Structure 1
Amino acid sequence: MTTPTTLEASARHLLSAEGFSRVVHLVQRDNEGIDLALAERITDEAIKFVAAAATATGRHLRPSKAVDMGWHALILHTAMYRGLCASLGRFVDHRPEGPETLRRDADTLDHTMDAIRGAGYEPDAYLWGPLADTEIHAGDCMHSECTEGGSACAAPPMA
């Protein structure tokens, strides 16, 4: 698959504004302390991941832990998720691996980011980098900067 020369920064247009907002809300609800801007970025990356997985047949892709939060929130909106997959031409199953087979290495994430580019989107490097593939807790904010007082988690601004 050839990567398009002009990559879209966002995939949120693949959902209605209301649908996107509902998924963002669920990301925030289920992950205490994540601010609105970060929840929106996580949701957007989850949509890009689904678009890549729907078009990259025969390739093993996996989300970072940060993006996985958005994917799970998206899947929980089953009718919306089914519609998204239908619009992309293929249903993307969620197949969790067991702890004994789970491989979280940079090569797999790089491979997934390449597939996202192949689907026409620019991945948000922060949400696919090594820090985003660690456990996310409001207290450590993906080992990034926290808002004043440490009460919420915020990612660095998009480049």
Structure 2
Amino acid sequence: MNNCIIFFFFIFFLVSQVGFSQEKIPPLKKRPLPPRHNQCHLCHLKKDKYFISKAKPTRREHTDRHLQHGKLNISCHHCHDINNSNYLRSFSPEEPASFENPSPVCIRCHRERYRDWKKGMHGKRIGGWDPKLQEWYSCIDCHDPHSVKFKPMKAVPPPKRPRFGRSH
């Protein structure tokens, strides 16, 4: 009898470990790539055309970009690869960053928040239990990487509690 119980728990443990290792992460939300995302090298290949810091205003090409990423004095090359500007910087060989999946760039400064995002504790996942309908929002779907400060929001009121007679 004891051998059967031990065998049952061994099988249960083995199946549970296999189940956890096979956990599949939902696909990223599809969004259009930035216009001309693969043409950065046309200007930034020249050594005198490095990325500029937020202290200097952008000229001509990037007039719509005003880098205000937190309180740090960071520049474009903190996230964009300075040697090959058609790519984003990758800080983990296991998770290369791309314009399709830009979130691994964020791990450099936001390691704890990134870990929470990978576990589904930060950010947004939709689709419920059906794996065919699941989508995973990347960091830049909610946070503008060039100006990360959220606009002020009004909180939604809590749900109304149901009343069950006079005693409650």
Instruction: Answer yes or no: same fold by TM over 0.5.
Output: no
Which of the two has higher C-alpha Rg?
2
Given the two structures, how large is their TM-score scaled by the length of structure 1? 0.24
Greater helix fraction, Structure 1 or Structure 2: 1
